[in-house]
Structure 1
Amino acid sequence: MNPTNDSAVTSPPSPAEDVARGTGVSLWKQIAERIEADITEGRLVPGARLPTENELAERFGVNRHTLRRALASLTERRLIEATPGRGTFVKEPPIRYPIGPRTRFSEIVTREGRAPSGRLLGSCTEPASTEIAQALGLPPGAEVLRIDMIREADGVPITVASHWYEAGRCRDLDLLVAATGSVTRALETLGLGDYRRLETRITARPADEEDRRLLALPAGRTVMVLDAINGDPQRRPIQYSRARFCADRVQLVVKN
């Protein structure tokens, strides 16, 4: 994990006197150029947290409206990213996310040098739709357990997923997920930890309102949607998942 992730940057951006008035170049554009230069020249490293809006506005001698326009420009160009409750950070490279026989979020994120975490959003039992029943090898309408989760890397939301399981086979799995924050550890408790990827389908679509809220995305962003079936060593389906990934925070790698 980058050690600068949770420490405010006290080195440049450039001082207020570098922002020149009356030159015909907008103040917000000058500020954006100064911050971009600090990123490209290595004074602000990937994962570094920028000072607060108030601190930056004071540093550049401008009002917060002007400062926010500069930050919005850098956000649109994917140089920085604001995460609610944490601050604004220099964007890190996307996580290299292999899709193979054994795909585990926590292991993948840890290998990338970042700290994984997970949180249960909700759970319920419901009748299986035709699609879910077919994926799990169940009759339509069979009772399935649905678990909704969000997963993060260094506190940045990466994916929101809904998982479905045969209710009778995975009873109390939601309680275990809530306690551990991990689907894999919860399945291990039930003796189902050795699951393997049987099928993955990848599509993309614009992020909807719920995606933007949960993944902290601005309007206009895209999510990659992964529909996946995981099975036990006998290839009997255990889990059907539909996960939405922030498209510019991961690089999906299909393993042959």
Structure 2
Amino acid sequence: MTRIPVWKSITSELEGEIARGLYRPGDKLPTEAELSRRFGVNRHTARRALADLAARGIVNSRRGAGVFVTAAPLDYPIGGKVRFAQNIRASGRLPGRRSLRIETRPASTEEAAALSLAPGEAVIVYEGLSLAEDMPIAHFISCFPAAPLPGLPETLTEVVSITEALRRNGVSDYTRLSTRLSATLASPTQALHLGLRDGAPLLRSESVNQDPEGRPVEYGLTWFVGERVTLIVGDGANG
């Protein structure tokens, strides 16, 4: 009889445990070292078993974080109201953000045009990662006009929600003025932040949001992880 390779036996065992719910979507699997001890094999064999699960989409590897059971992509409506936290909670997950930088600098030509500013006028730049249950689902860069929002940089360090940060600085509400969607590939830096391989597919959103008086208040670029988010565009996408 043909002997089944050890790595395939490990793969089968782990796949069965996932199917029985011992590891649920989003759960982290044991490390290579832990699997090596459990099954009495070297780390190369454990690594090959995990690679087979990843190749079949059962798990995904996040650089520096580990290997996780693949979660179903969450639905993310793109509608008139722009509410990240509300969209994530609607999917049954806990929203979060990780700040990468907050700075005030002169606007680029593109940013000035989007926010109806004079060339070189100051903007507040907020860059970070959007999270769902601690899983990075997007990399974002948001720009705000600095003059009417002098307290925004400090507020962004105090609250997770951009909506709340804007409310505390006098913007009671805002809606989406325009959105452009395109496909792109993750840069090495984005791959590192998002726990992806270099060149993984991303969905790029370029949007402008306006306050109740019709003044542009935010120009944003967001790169969603294609395998973790399904963008929904249409009349029902008003989350």
Give TM-score, length-normalised by structure 2.
0.90
**Which one of the candidate residues 199, 204, 208 is aligned to 2:187?**
208
**Which one of the candidate residues 67, 70, 88 is aligned to 1:91?**
70
1:167 aligns with 2:146: yes
Structure 1 spans left out of the alignment, 5+ residues: 1-21
Higher relative CO (Cα under 8 Å, sequence separation at least 6) belongs to: 2
Matches within 5 A, 1:219-234: 219-234=198-213
Maintained 8 Å contact 1:53/1:64: yes
Over the aligned positions, Cα root-mean-square deviation in angstroms equals 2.0
- The offset of 1:244, in angstroms, is 1.1
Maintained 8 Å contact 1:145/1:167: yes
Matched residue, 1:142: 121
**Cα gap change, 1:85/1:114 in structure 2, threshold over 3 Å: closer, same or farther?**
farther
Matched residue, 1:117: 96
1:63 aligns with 2:26: no
Maintained 8 Å contact 1:124/1:147: yes
- The offset of 1:152, in angstroms, is 0.8
1:178 aligns with 2:160: no
**Cα gap change, 1:84/1:115 in structure 2, threshold over 3 Å: closer, same or farther?**
farther
- The offset of 1:201, in angstroms, is 0.7
Q: Deviations over 1:64-116 (max 9, x none)?
A: 11101211222233211234665432111111100001121111111111111
1:188 aligns with 2:167: yes
- The offset of 1:24, in angstroms, is 5.1
Structure 2 spans left out of the alignment, 5+ residues: none
Distance 1:24 1:235 in 2: 70
Give TM-score, length-normalised by structure 1.
0.84
1:217 aligns with 2:196: yes
Maintained 8 Å contact 2:63/2:192: no
Distance 1:49 1:127 in 2: 42
2:67 match: secondary structure: strand
Maintained 8 Å contact 1:46/1:90: yes
- The offset of 1:122, in angstroms, is 0.8
1:51 aligns with 2:30: yes
- The offset of 1:153, in angstroms, is 1.0
Matched residue, 1:252: 231
Distance 1:70 1:219 in 2: 22
Maintained 8 Å contact 1:119/1:178: no
**Cα gap change, 1:100/1:165 in structure 2, threshold over 3 Å: closer, same or farther?**
same
1:155 aligns with 2:110: no
Aligned length: 235
**Which one of the candidate residues 8, 16, 28 is aligned to 1:29?**
8
Letter of the structure 1 residue corresponding to residue 160 of structure 2: G
Distance 1:186 1:81 in 2: 34
